[in-house]
Copies of this chain bind each other. A is one copy, B any other.
């Protein structure tokens, strides 16, 4: 398979696949006589695995670890599980933080007239005039 085919079937861009090779996340692809990269189903499988790991929130280093576990026949599933649970907790924290930010935004919007005048509770609050008179 050529790179564009693997790209289509993995959901990654060709650029990204070359990048993953460059940083050693996957083995360098074998090359055809013309110098084009050539992929087999095993390589496609690894790229799909990486795409999914990224999709659920793992960064490249974590995805590398997970791929290492996948390839390690003497692995212990507890390791994969702890990576997943830790990531889930990280997402939880991110969600909480985003919620808090959203609350502030919604509150500001509620207290702002949103008309053609210059008076604006949003700008006041961002400037530190803590809307004491809302």
In the complex, chain B residues whose CB is within 8 Å of the CB of A81: 109, 112-114, 120, 122
Q: Is the interface of A mostly helix, strand, loop or mixed?
A: helix
The contact of A127 among B45, B87, B109, B120, by CB within 8 Å, is: B45
**In angstroms, how far is the closest chain B Cβ from the Cβ of A86?**
10
Give the number of times this chain occurs in the complex, counting copies: 2
**In angstroms, how far is the closest chain B Cβ from the Cβ of A43?**
13
Pairwise interchain contact B127-A105, C-beta atoms closer than 8 A = no
- Which A residues are closer than 8 A to B by beta carbons? 45, 48-49, 52-53, 55-57, 66, 69-70, 72-78, 80-82, 84-85, 87-88, 91-92, 94-95, 98-99, 101-102, 104-106, 108-109, 112-120, 122-123, 125-128
